[in-house]
Amino acid sequence: MPRLTVGLFPPKLFRPLLSRNVSSPSSTVQRGSSVPHHHHHARCVSRHRHYSSSSSSSSPSDKNTSSSSSPSPLKFAPFVAIVAIGTGSYILLVKSRSSGKPAPQGKFIKRMSTPRFSSDDVTVVFFLGGPGAGKGTQSANLVRDYGFNHLSAGDLLRAEQTREGSQYGEMIREYIREGKIVPMEVTVTLLSNAMAEILEQGTSKSTNPPRFLIDGFPRQLDQAHFFEASVCVSKLVLFLECPEEVLQARLLKRGETSGREDDNAASIKKRFTTFLQTSMPVVDEFEKQGKVISVSATGSIDEVYELIKEKLQEKGISPV
C-alpha cells in the first residue's frame, strides 16, 4: 500500500484526522437461578446493559490572521478530502482483514415499507425455546393436528451450508460451530423464500389462512423487527421454558445418535448462553404486546403438548 507522506500536508490540516478517540459499548448479562413452571412464569435471566461512548475532534483555526495574508481555505480542501478518504479506506481495510469472518454478500431481502405477506393472508407463529427444549418434537405434533407449515430456521441454515454452489456455506458453518447467530439477512431471506415457495406451489396445509410455524426464530430483537417489517407480522410467540440442566442432559443424549457437531458440552454451553443473552429480550418484547404463550417444557412430550393445546385454544387457534 502506498505510504502517505505526512510532510506533504500542513500539520494543522493533518493532525485532527488522528485525534479521534472512541470507546466501544459494553454489556453485562446475569442469569438468575429460578426454574420456570407453567403455573408461575419466573424469569431466568436479568439483563443489565451499560453503554458508554465518547468522541472528540478538533479543528484548528487562526482567528488573528488577517484575510488578506491567509491562504484561501478552498486551496486546502482537496488535500483534506484526499487524506480523509485515504484514512477511511485504510481503516476499513484493516477491519476487514482483522474481523476473521466474511460479511454477508449477495442478494438478500431488503426492509420494505410494507411486509411481503399480509397477516390477513397468512398466520405466522414464532416458536422459541432453549436448545433441547423440544421444539422439533412439538412442531411435528402441531403440523399434524393444526395444519401448520413448519419452517425451521436451523434446518434451513444447515441445508444452505451444504447446498452445492452456496457462497455462504462456510460462513454459516462457522457461526453454527461457534454457537453464534448467523447474520439476519441470511436467515430472513431463507425463511421468506421458503414461505413464498410453499404458497406458490400450492403445497400449504389446508387451513385458511395458511399457517406457518417458524421454529427457532427470531433469536434476537433485530431479527424480529426485520422479519415483521419485511416479511409478515406475527400472530403469536410460543415459548417453551426449560432449565439449563434439563436442556443439557437432553442434548447430550441426543448427541449420541444425532451426528450433529454442535451436540457436545462446549457447544451446548455456548448455545444456551447465546439464547439467554439474545432470545429472552425477544420473549420480553412480545410479552409486552400480549403475544406470548409460555409453556413449561420439563414434563413428558404428551404433557407438554396438552399444555400447548390449551394455550392455543385460549388464543383462538383450533385443530383442523
Q: Which residues are annotated as a binding site for ATP?
A: 132-137, 254, 299
Q: How far apart are CA 179 and CA 182, in angstroms?
A: 9
Strand 45-50 relative to strand 211-215, pairing? unpaired
Contact between residue 213 and residue 151 where contact means Cβ atoms under 8 Å apart: yes
- Residue 215's nearest CA partner among 102, 133, 122 is 133
The conformation of residue 217, written as its DSSP 8-state character, comes to B
Other C-beta atoms lying within 10 Å of the C-beta of residue 12: 12
The angle subtended at Cα 223 by Cα 35 and Cα 193, nearest 5°, is 120
Using alpha carbons only, what angle is made at residue 302 by residues 159 and 211, rounded to the nearest 5 degrees? 50
Q: 138 and 305 in contact (C-beta within 8 Å)?
A: yes
- Rounded distance between C-alpha atoms, residue 298 and residue 309, angstroms: 16
47 membership: H or E segment, kind and range: strand 45-50
* Cβ neighbours of 287 (radius 10 Å): 15
CB-based burial label for 260 (10 Å; 0-12, 13-18, 19+): middle
Q: CA-to-CA distance for 21 and 37, rounded, in angstroms?
A: 48
> What does the alpha-carbon distance between residue 245 and residue 227 come to, in Å, rounded to a whole number?
32
What cell was used for 57?
475532534
> Which residues sit in the known binding site for a ribonucleoside 5'-phosphate?
158, 180-182, 216-219, 223, 260, 271
Residue numbers in the known binding site are 132-137, 158, 180-182, 216-219, 223, 254, 260, 271, 299
Instruction: Please give the Cα distance from 64 to 66 (Å, whole number).
Output: 6
